[in-house]
A and B are shown apart, each in its own frame.
Chain A
Amino acid sequence: MNRTSNAAFVSALVLYFVAAGGYFGFVAWRTRKWKVFATAVLSLGWALHLLSLITRTLAAEHAPWGNMYEFTASLAFVLITAYLFVGQAKFGLTALGGYVAAAAAILMSVGWVIYADPGELQPALRSNWLTFHVFLVMAGASLLLFGAILEVMYLVRRRWEARHPDFADEDTSDGGLVSRLPSADRLDQASYRMIMFAFPIWTLGVIAGAIWGEQAWGRYWGWDPKETMSFIVLMIFAAYLHARATQGWRGRGAAILAIVGGVAILVNFYAVNLWIAGLHSYAGT
């Protein structure tokens, strides 16, 4: 079971890199062939990724987020799922496929470096809240990250548009990669929707964590480093949501807030696990 999982994981990882190449090919040559090829490869990778997570769950006998390898694998899975079914299918952001696939593949490569065999859960993690709380924060985090990545592209594109006042949406034949990105307006709209969708998920995840904390440690909030960082992420994205509706903050200011929030999420998941001890320290294995 576990060997199937690992084989599927590595195949998915390779396919994501290939798909990323395909999407960049599409951006460069703009032919349907490239788009079909990249989408097909990414979808196949996604299916293998799903298979890998399912077999891992069966092998480990718990939801696939008991250690950092499993967590990273699931995080990348949510990212690709969000891109395929929302980013590309709903918003038509095909020009971003290369970046997202590459980001997921790099994330998974990091995951493969910190690979650990499926094992018994530590006593602290033996709870139904593991499935619920960790799933929510993972899904919320990867979607917020997706939103932050879109905001980076928004800033890049916005600058480009300011310098090219006579641009046409996605129809410039020169000007390199930036000219092929979706228009700033569409990027802005897509990232806003993504973050608006993810914010309640993250909030619910933090609340679920508080409930679990009450059950495991006897307090619903204790300013443990991981709790503090999650709180900071909430504050930053709350500021973002307010900024979206405020003169002078809309656009650039809001985008910067979302990007800072994205960085805070990465710090929370990796730096806090590896370098800052706390009650969540088992997550570092």
Chain B
Amino acid sequence: MTESNESEDFGAEPVPPRAMERMHGWRRLRSMRTAIQLLIAVAIVSLLGSVIPQRSAAPSKVAQFIEEHRFWGEVFDRLGLFQVFTSWWFLALAGFLLFVTGACLIPRTRAALSHARRIKQAPERGRLPDLRFTTEVESELSSDETVTEARRVLGRRRWRSSPVNGANQWIAERGHSRETGSVLFHWSFFLVALAAALTITTKFEGSAVVVEKTSWVEGGRVNFDEYSEGAFARWINPHAGFTVAVEDFDVAYGDDGMPKSYTSRVKILDDGREVLEDEVRVNKPVSYKGVKLYQLGYGWAPVVRVTDGSTVVYDGPLVLGMRGPNGSSAGVIKLPSTASGSVGLELSLFPDFKLVPFRATNPDDPRAREPGALDLISTGDFGERPLVVVTEYRGDLGLDKPQNVYELDKTGLEQVAQKFATFPANANEKLGTSTQLGGGLNVELIDLRRFTVFSVKRDSYGTPVAAAAAAVMMLSLYPALYAYRRRLWFEVVEGGTEGVVLRFGGVAYQRKDIFEEEFLRIETDLTDALRGAGSVAKKATR
């Protein structure tokens, strides 16, 4: 990153390779080769994070990996290889890269700021003929006029020129935006780092499961299904405490039966007043008070009433959060203290049920030998022919252990009955809307609804800083790559048929191949201007 001793740009006196080897300490740290080595190191380390499954992206794959490679799984875990990008060694590497960048940038920024104010002067009298590009143009004008005209021609091409101290020579320069761009581009990494730090420490995010025609309050982690927050989130990005009422949820299907789009129609209420009515879709989040709601997923939530004799023990929508076989989804109701003991109910919904001949996947399945055995499947997810299978379990629900709300822990349970029911609009003679279970329990299906899953986030500072970093990066990258610094020296000498000759030479510190063409164009322009051809043409067009 310090270009002074090794880049092609200052190639007049290249540093011999052996001198490079002798370079130590601070200078070595700031050298371009250190930068290259660090960039390659970051690339290699990141490769680990894309080849080895990562906890953040695929936790189940990580678990499977540890299961399959017991010893190496353990070793990988200890080394943090399942969370490469938050491991101390990745952060240390990134931090070191930033440190080295900063070490290069501070002197470069200082130099860029002072160069911006004036052209660093160096008399080139003796060297002018030695420059790679030199030429002479005869002038019809006087010495002074020649200089004025040359400066005007160069000025039009955005060259800044000034006299060289103590010599009858002029120096002109262009292309400082390369260094300015490069310095800004590299500084933008610090903005990126700041954005990442802000996001990690101040963001909260979670997922919320909301059934149609019900509402959800954005406040506190207990309301979330999954939740995580940064260390300073509670002060910097606190919960906003508004209510999200889901009016309804719609899925539009394509010709192939796959969902084309899904939409939650929501109302947002703040302090009991309705403040916003909008739709949340994939790629179209809704934002209120800095909190953003993203459409994440959806599923079925039948409204169920369970009565134990004459007492209602469950009444409301039941979120079917588990995927069952053959296109069904399932959820559970845990009733630890009915009149007839502890009961677990599993409800499986087949949204568009159909009976098909049973096809055994396992030859040991007893049903494979049963002639005419049937299997229950769902042909779609439309909810046009819904059927609920209620399975009754009795025994120990295991409520003394941590529980998954969507699943029964069946170790202490025994299946005692399996019944079918459907919904009022779809009820027929064979399948009623309610079904009687053992011990006076009755399950009644009231309505079929959907639930929607929102991802809820608040990151009021990290995202804007990241956006600013991206803007700086893109605006500075182009000059950093394409602009190139070049200099011209010129002097007026006596000679030629007209008595006055403009001698000039130039050098480019980068992109020498392009400069060759530019130099020729400048020569043509100067020739036109000084020999009068140009001025004649200009007068004609004026």
With A218-B294, A232-B47 known as contacts, the answer to whether A120 contacts B33 (CB < 8 A) is no
Chain B: CB-nearest residue to A122 = B258
**A123–B259 CB distance below 8 A:** yes
In the bound complex, residues from chain A placing their C-beta under 8 Å from that of B42 are 235
In angstroms, Cα B54 to Cα A278, docked, is 10
Chain A: CB-nearest residue to B7 = A245
In the bound complex, residues from chain B placing their C-beta under 8 Å from that of A231 are 46
Partner of B46, one of A210, A219, A232, A276: A232
16 pairs across A/B with beta carbons < 8 Å?
Answer: A119-B256, A123-B260, A123-B282, A200-B477, A203-B477, A218-B455, A219-B199, A223-B49, A228-B50, A232-B50, A238-B39, A239-B35, A244-B8, A248-B17, A249-B33, A276-B50
B contact set with A: CB distance below 8 Å: 1, 3, 6-9, 14-15, 17, 20, 32-33, 35-36, 39-40, 42-43, 46-47, 49-50, 54, 56-58, 61, 84-85, 196, 199, 205, 254-256, 258-262, 281-285, 292, 294, 455, 457, 459, 463, 466-467, 470, 473-474, 477-478, 481-482, 513
With A203-B474, A245-B3 known as contacts, the answer to whether A215 contacts B283 (CB < 8 A) is yes
Chain A: CB-nearest residue to B474 = A204
Besides the contacts A223-B84, A236-B43, A247-B14, what 13 more A-B pairs have beta carbons closer than 8 Å?
A203-B474, A203-B477, A216-B282, A218-B205, A219-B205, A222-B56, A232-B43, A235-B43, A236-B40, A244-B8, A247-B6, A277-B58, A279-B57
**B255–A245 CB distance below 8 A:** no
**A218–B292 CB distance below 8 A:** yes
Chain B: CB-nearest residue to A127 = B283
A93 interfacial by beta-carbon distance below 8 Å:
no
A243 interfacial by beta-carbon distance below 8 Å:
yes
With A220-B463, A220-B466, A225-B50 known as contacts, the answer to whether A245 contacts B474 (CB < 8 A) is no
In angstroms, Cα B51 to Cα A272, docked, is 9
In angstroms, Cα B476 to Cα A200, docked, is 10
A54 interfacial by beta-carbon distance below 8 Å:
no
**A189–B513 CB distance below 8 A:** yes
A contact set with B: CB distance below 8 Å: 119-120, 122-124, 126-127, 129, 189, 196, 199-200, 203-204, 207, 210-212, 214-225, 228-229, 231-232, 235-236, 238-239, 241-250, 257, 272, 276-279
**A223–B56 CB distance below 8 A:** yes
**A247–B40 CB distance below 8 A:** no
In the bound complex, residues from chain B placing their C-beta under 8 Å from that of A212 are 283
B36, B42, B57, B281: which has the most chain A beta carbons within 10 Å?
B36
In the bound complex, residues from chain A placing their C-beta under 8 Å from that of B283 are 123-124, 126-127, 129, 212, 215-216
User: Nearest Cβ in chain B — how far from A194, in angstroms?
Assistant: 12
Chain A: CB-nearest residue to B47 = A232
With A222-B56, A223-B57, A232-B47 known as contacts, the answer to whether A250 contacts B254 (CB < 8 A) is no
User: Nearest Cβ in chain A — how far from B280, in angstroms?
Assistant: 12
In angstroms, Cα B466 to Cα A207, docked, is 10
In angstroms, Cα B457 to Cα A204, docked, is 25
**A225–B57 CB distance below 8 A:** yes
Chain A: CB-nearest residue to B9 = A245
In angstroms, Cα B47 to Cα A119, docked, is 34
In the bound complex, residues from chain B placing their C-beta under 8 Å from that of A221 are 196, 466
In the bound complex, residues from chain A placing their C-beta under 8 Å from that of B40 are 235-236, 239, 257
In the bound complex, residues from chain B placing their C-beta under 8 Å from that of A243 are 36
**A124–B474 CB distance below 8 A:** no
Partner of A247, one of B20, B35, B205, B260: B20
In angstroms, Cα B58 to Cα A277, docked, is 8
User: Nearest Cβ in chain A — how far from B9, in angstroms?
Assistant: 7
Chain A: CB-nearest residue to B514 = A193
**A218–B57 CB distance below 8 A:** no
**A248–B20 CB distance below 8 A:** yes
**A203–B473 CB distance below 8 A:** yes
User: Nearest Cβ in chain A — how far from B157, in angstroms?
Assistant: 22
In the bound complex, residues from chain A placing their C-beta under 8 Å from that of B281 are 123
In angstroms, Cα B463 to Cα A220, docked, is 7
With A126-B282, A222-B57 known as contacts, the answer to whether A199 contacts B36 (CB < 8 A) is no
With A124-B283, A216-B294 known as contacts, the answer to whether A250 contacts B46 (CB < 8 A) is no
Partner of B482, one of A196, A207, A214, A215: A196
In angstroms, Cα B51 to Cα A229, docked, is 10
User: Nearest Cβ in chain A — how far from B292, in angstroms?
Assistant: 6
In the bound complex, residues from chain A placing their C-beta under 8 Å from that of B473 are 203, 207
In the bound complex, residues from chain B placing their C-beta under 8 Å from that of A200 are 474, 477-478, 481
Chain B: CB-nearest residue to A277 = B58
**B285–A215 CB distance below 8 A:** yes
**B282–A246 CB distance below 8 A:** no
In the bound complex, residues from chain B placing their C-beta under 8 Å from that of A196 are 481-482
With A215-B285, A216-B282, A242-B36 known as contacts, the answer to whether A120 contacts B256 (CB < 8 A) is yes
With A124-B282, A228-B49 known as contacts, the answer to whether A246 contacts B262 (CB < 8 A) is no
In angstroms, Cα B257 to Cα A219, docked, is 30
**B455–A217 CB distance below 8 A:** yes
In the bound complex, residues from chain B placing their C-beta under 8 Å from that of A235 are 39-40, 42-43, 46
In the bound complex, residues from chain B placing their C-beta under 8 Å from that of A119 are 254, 256
B32, B284, B482: which has the most chain A beta carbons within 10 Å?
B32
Chain B: CB-nearest residue to A272 = B50
